[in-house]
Amino acid sequence: MSMEHPYVPRLDRAEAAYTQLSRALEQRAPECVDIDLFTADRLSPADVEVLKPICARCDVALLCRQYAKAAKPTVGFWAGKHYVGRGRKADQEAA
């Protein structure tokens, strides 16, 4: 009897979403490129307020959001949402 790992479907979705996001990023570099705050382990409320408008006007925010939803990142700021520790999403979200 074969036991399927319960996380495989999520990983497949995350990989597919990452592929789509990567392809879009090859066409255009978003404003977040080279801004280390987007991948920081910890963000202050002031940092979050700086990052929100960057995501709000981003051309690839939808793809970024789809990737983050599938991958459930444990840190960073993805498509207007601050992720902190073990995939828990902070309350700070872009409007």
Could you read off the pLDDT tens digit of each residue along the chain, which spans 95 residues?
445 545 545 668 899 999 999 999 999 999 998 999 999 988 999 999 999 999 999 999 999 999 999 998 989 999 999 998 754 455 444 43
Residue 39 within a domain = yes
Domain housing 77: 8-93
Residue 1 within a domain = no
89 contacts 81 by C-beta, under 8 angstroms: yes
pLDDT, position 6:
53
pLDDT, position 2:
46
Determine the Cα–Cα distance for residues 71 and 21; give it in Å rounded to an integer: 12
How many domains does the chain contain in total?
1
Which two tokens mark 55? 């995501």
Which two tokens mark 56? 């709000």
Q: What is the pTM of this model?
A: 0.73
Cα separations in angstroms, 24 against 28, 36, 59, 80: 7, 20, 9, 18
